[in-house]
Amino acid sequence: MAYLEPFIGAVAAFMLGFGWYTFAFGKMWQTETGLSDEDAQKDMARTHGLAFLMMVLLSFGVNYMINFHPPEAQTFTHGGFHGAQLAAMFALPATAINYLYQRKSLKLFLIDAGYIVAFMALSGAIMAALKLGA
C-alpha cells in the first residue's frame, strides 16, 4: 500500500485543484496570470499530466515524512499537519522566490500558495488515514 498512497493523495490534490482553479479562484487566477480563455485551454493534456506527476512527487515527499512516525500516530489530522508543515517549509518559500523575481502579484501568490498548502495538507491527511486501515 505504501506506493499506492501517494497516487491516491495526488488524485485528491488534483480534484481539489479542479475546484480551486475553476469555481473558487478560476477567473481571478486567470486575470492575474494574464491568460486568455484560449491560452488557458492550450495543451491541457500535457499540462494536467505533468502537473499530476508533480503532485505525485510531492505526495511521496509528504508520505516519506509521515512514515517517520509510528503507525498508531498516523491519523488524518496528523497527516494534514505534516502536509501543511512541509508546504510552509519548502513549497511556499520556493514559490515565493520565483514570484518575487518574476514580479508576480501578491494576489496570484496567495491563490497558488493557498492551493499548495491545501493540497499538501489534504494529500497528507488522506495518506495517513489510509495507514489506519492497513
pLDDT digits (tens, 9 = 90+) for 93-134: 999 999 999 999 999 999 999 999 999 999 999 999 998 765
Q: Say what percent of the chain tops pLDDT 90.
A: 90
What radius of gyration do the chain's Cα atoms show? 16
Nearest to 5 by CA among 54, 61, 63: 63
- Taking the model in full, what pTM does it have? 0.93
pLDDT at 49 over 90: yes
Rounded Cα distance between 59 and 129, Å, is: 14
Domain count, the chain: 1
Instruction: Please compute the mean of the pLDDT values over residues 64-77 and round it to a whole number.
Output: 92
Nearest to 26 by CA among 115, 122, 119: 115
Confidence of residue 56 (pLDDT cuts 50, 70, 90): very high
Whole-number mean pLDDT of the chain?
95
Task: Give the structural domain span for 22.
Answer: 4-133
How far is CA 26 from its chain centroid? Answer: 16
How far is CA 100 from its chain centroid? Answer: 20
